[in-house]
Amino acid sequence: MDNHDLKRDPRLPYRATTRIEVVDVPAIAFLTARGEGDPNTSRLYADVVEALYASSYGVRAVAIEELGRKHTVAPLEGLWWADDLRVFTARDKDAWSWQMMIAQPSWVTDDVVTAGIERARGRRDLAEVDRITFTTITEGLAVQTLHVGPYDDEGPTIARMHDEFMPQHGYRPRGAHHEIYLSDVRKTAPGRLRTILRQPIETSQPIEQRRAGAAQS
């Protein structure tokens, strides 16, 4: 049985370098759950992440048994937003709202998700499992880059995306800031953590001006 890894799917932008680039993100199905507050101190955040992983492994087991399809559980992702985007560069975490997510393969259905969540629920006490929903997100045009290092050091990279790259190329932010956590924080030194930083965008000037700006950068 082949093991499908979403991170290696060439149709999905799960590969990034430290250079800021423009990508077109297709529709992707996720298990998701929302909350707010500092992820380092919030019990809700910890419980949501636990429920997402347990449910995703439950979905994987059901897909193997019922569909004969095997996949690697995808990395944790998060959409982050606030009334004032400056809280991200300032790292004012108490003001953050978030939607944590784990991507699912295209063959995962509502029935598989329901069975997977019930399997997870039956194996352990998951305080926030009822928050989980199964939804498809289409981000479309976005800028992204790879951040290597501690999460608290992301501020300058985010500022470079928003304050330099986007204005220079005729884009403005649209929607929530997106992070994809490629490293296992339990096993990786802070200086070696690899995180894709992504921001959906829309155009703010005619295409001719964008091309001129790109040629000059």
Question: What's residue 7's pLDDT?
Answer: 92
Residues 102-152 have pLDDT tens digits of 999 999 999 999 999 999 999 999 999 999 999 999 999 999 999 999 998
Note whether residue 2 is domain-resident: no
Residues 25-61 have pLDDT tens digits of 999 999 999 999 999 999 999 999 999 999 999 999 9
Note whether residue 4 is domain-resident: no
CATH number at residue 178: 3.20.80.10
- Alpha-carbon distances, residue 5 vs 42, 60, 76, 112 (angstroms): 30, 12, 14, 18
DSSP 6-34: GGG-TTS-----SS-EEEEEEEEEEEEEE
- Measured CA to CA, the distance from residue 152 to residue 191 in angstroms comes to 11
Amino acid (one-letter) located at 193: L
How far is Cα of residue 44 from the mean position of the Cα atoms in its chain? 18
Number of domains in the chain: 1
Note whether residue 32 is domain-resident: yes
Question: What's residue 86's pLDDT?
Answer: 72
Note whether residue 1 is domain-resident: no
Residues 175-192 have pLDDT tens digits of 999 999 999 988 999 999
Question: What's residue 1's pLDDT?
Answer: 77
Note whether residue 3 is domain-resident: no
- Enumerate residues 6+ apart whose C-beta is below 8 A from 63: 69, 70, 71, 105, 107, 108, 112, 116
- Measured CA to CA, the distance from residue 60 to residue 73 in angstroms comes to 7
Residues 60-95 have pLDDT tens digits of 999 999 999 999 999 999 999 987 767 766 677 888
SS3 of residue 172 by DSSP: strand
Q: Are 88 and 80 in contact (CB under 8 A)?
A: yes
Boundaries of domain holding 20: 12-216
Question: What's residue 212's pLDDT?
Answer: 52
Question: What's residue 197's pLDDT?
Answer: 98
Question: What's residue 83's pLDDT?
Answer: 78
Q: Are 99 and 79 in contact (CB under 8 A)?
A: yes
Give the pLDDT band (50/70/90) at residue 204. confident
Give the pLDDT band (50/70/90) at residue 216. very low
Phi, psi of 176 (to 5 degrees): -85, 150
DSSP 35-103: EES-TTT-HHHHHHHHHHHHHHHHHHHHIIIII--EEPPPPEEEEEE-SSTHHHHTT-GGG-EEEEEEE
Q: Are 45 and 100 in contact (CB under 8 A)?
A: yes
Note whether residue 98 is domain-resident: yes
- Measured CA to CA, the distance from residue 108 to residue 45 in angstroms comes to 25
- Enumerate residues 6+ apart whose C-beta is below 8 A from 129: 51, 54, 55, 117, 120, 121
Note whether residue 7 is domain-resident: no
Q: Identify the weakest region by mean pLDDT among 104-108, 192-196, 213-217.
A: 213-217
